[in-house]
Structure 1
Amino acid sequence: MGKKEEILNKIQILITNHFSTPEEAFAFFDNNADGKLAKNEIVKLLKEAEISGFIRGIVASKLIEGYDEDGDELIDWEEFKLAINEISQD
């Protein structure tokens, strides 16, 4: 299992173990309730998923780069769902 898969697996475990639904997880980490996750909110999610502090910022940037389809440097609900669906298929 590569680094990306390990990180996505930890995120899946966090969501599965601590939230009833992916929507609940998204809302929990959306601190300002704007319907989007900014980099700092994604870093918080990664911290909760026990991703090493050393790489959290890099991983957050890569997640935004990989899933931000509209180019606003934020992850909205639809983009988050795409990521969750990818995690679920592995």
Structure 2
Amino acid sequence: MGRKEAILNKIQILITNHFSTPEEAFAFFDKDGDGKLAKKEIVKLLKQAEISGFIRGIVASKLIEGYDKDDDGFIDWEEFKFAIDEISDESK
């Protein structure tokens, strides 16, 4: 399993073990309630997923880069849902 797959697997485990739905997970990490996950909110998600502190910032930036379809620098609900669906598909 490559590094990317290992990180995505940890995120999936966090969401499935601690939240009833992806919507619940998104709402939990969207601390300011603006409907978007900022980099600092994604870093907190990665911390909860037990991603090493050394690489959390890099991984958060890469997640935004990879899933921020409207290039606003945030992950909104639709982008988050797309990412979760992709993570789920990769784990099958």
TM-score band w.r.t. shorter chain: over 0.9
Deviation at 1:50, TM superposition (A): 0.1
- Matched with 2:42 is 42
* 2:25 is the counterpart of 1:25: yes
- Matched with 1:70 is 70
Residues 39-63 of structure 1 deviation map (CA, whole Å, 9 limit, x = unaligned):
0000000000000000000000000
Give 5+ residue unaligned stretches, structure 1.
none
Q: Matched residue pairs, number?
A: 90
Q: Which amino acid aligns with 1:35?
A: G
Deviation at 1:21, TM superposition (A): 0.2
- Matched with 1:51 is 51
* 2:80 is the counterpart of 1:89: no
| Counterpart Cα distance in 2 of 1:67 and 1:5 | 15
| Counterpart Cα distance in 2 of 1:78 and 1:20 | 18
Give 5+ residue unaligned stretches, structure 2.
none
TM-score when normalising by structure 1:
0.99
TM-score when normalising by structure 2:
0.97
| Counterpart Cα distance in 2 of 1:81 and 1:5 | 18
| Counterpart Cα distance in 1 of 2:5 and 2:22 | 18
Deviation at 1:24, TM superposition (A): 0.1
